[in-house]
Structures are given as C-alpha cells and as structure tokens.
Amino acid sequence: MPDSNTADIIVGKKAKSYLGGEMRNFLRAKVKKLGGNANKQVNVLRFGGERKVGGVRIAIVPVTHSNGIGPAFLSKELAAQYKKDGLTAYVGPDNGYVLTFSNGLVVYMSGDSGISAEQDITVRGFYGAELAIMNAGGIFTSGPREAAYSVNKLIKPKAVIPQHTNEAATKNGKLQAKSKTALFKSLIDKNIAFHVPLSGVTMEFDGNAKCVKGC
C-alpha cells in the first residue's frame, strides 16, 4: 500500500492486464505512478466482451462479491474522509475470468464468489468451462459445501482446482484430512478430477482438461 502489489506486478513483469472500466482507471493511475505504461498495460474488458492475447482468449463473467478499495489505497485527502465514514471506494462490479487457450482448454477462474446462476448460464452454458479454479474458503466467499454445489450442479467441469480456502491445506505435500480443502474434495462428484495445488509446482493440462504434468 498505497499502490498495491497488483500494480507492482504489472509494472515489474511488464504485463498486460484486463479489467472492468472503473477498476481499469484506478489501476492505470497506480501503474503510471510506478513508472509503467498505463495506456498499454491496463486495458478495459466488459461483461460479454472478449480480448485476445497471443493464442489466449480472455472474457470476464459476473460473480457475487463486493468490490471496494479501502482508504489505505486512496490519496491522503480522500482517504481521511472515507476512513472517517467507514466507507470503501467503489471500483465497479467484481468479476471472474474465463480463459480459452490455444489447445482448446477453457478455464473458469471464479475469483471471489458465492453460488451464482451465472455459473450455470454463462460459465457452463455459453463458455463450456472444462477446468474450474474455485474458491472455497467460507465467510468471505463460498465455503466448501457451497463451492461443491457450484461445481457439481452448475459449472459441471471435467476438473477442479481449489483456491482461496484461507488455510494451510497441505503439509509436506499431503492434503490435511480435517481441512476445508479436504471437505471440498470429498463433496465433489467422482467423475470430476480434483487437483490440490502445491507451492512451486506448475500444473499443465491438455485441451480436454486432463492434467498431464504436475498433478
């Protein structure tokens, strides 16, 4: 803070980012302050639209989560007023991403979300997501049971990777039996592959969402 590690990563990696209009404008100011090329590196993408980077198509989809910026990320004068009133700055609706890779793999990145009809109508029905990277932490997002419902009944992917579970889910590379991640795994339909992410290990998938390396 106050620039955010998102802006640091964009500038440091010379990366391109794609966000909704309000968040795009906020991050552009941060990236410019850090010495990046804001106009080229921070780009707009709205619901229903699509951008392409190399061989990857990028789309954003609605999720059920708030999207506010805390006072610590704002200019000093504005921050004081927001903090006084206990408010956050609105930077547009929150969103998830759908990525379609050149090998045909379609990946849904849920971001932070609860159960949503969009997961059925848009993520499954329109995009046909085959791999879901699904939040399952509870309190701030869907918990394990809610996330399992989204995966089993709405998204219906071929494989799922848990994320944002707010816990140390593994020890020495093994899933902890009493973790939320373990509960999430136990609730997933048996015909859906469940892959636990490990630090420093990169997973690779083919066009049918079959893990071919790192799982």
Hey, what are 182's tokens? 């373990």
pLDDT above 90 coverage of the chain, percent: 80
pLDDT at 53: 92
Going from the C-alpha of 112 to that of each of 13, 118, 135, 160, the distances in angstroms are 24, 14, 6, 15
Q: Is the pTM of this model over 0.85?
A: yes
Mean pLDDT of 65-89: 89
Is residue 187 located within the same domain as residue 208? yes
Provide Rg for the chain, Cα atoms.
18
Please check whether residue 60 lies inside any domain of the structure: no
Total structural domains in the chain?
Answer: 2
Which candidate, 9, 4, 50, places its Cα nearest to that of 23?
A: 4
Is residue 156 located within the same domain as residue 116? yes
Going from the C-alpha of 124 to that of each of 63, 132, 155, the distances in angstroms are 14, 10, 5
Please check whether residue 193 lies inside any domain of the structure: yes
Q: Which residues pair with 44 in a beta bridge?
A: 19
Is residue 153 located within the same domain as residue 78? no
Residue 151 DSSP label: I
CB 152 within 8 A of CB 120: no
Is residue 117 located within the same domain as residue 199? yes
Per-residue pLDDT band for 77 (boundaries 50, 70, 90) equals confident
Q: For 121-174, what is each residue's pLDDT tens digit?
A: 999 999 999 999 999 999 888 999 999 999 999 999 999 999 999 999 999 999
Owning domain of residue 26: 1-45+68-93
CB 45 within 8 A of CB 23: no
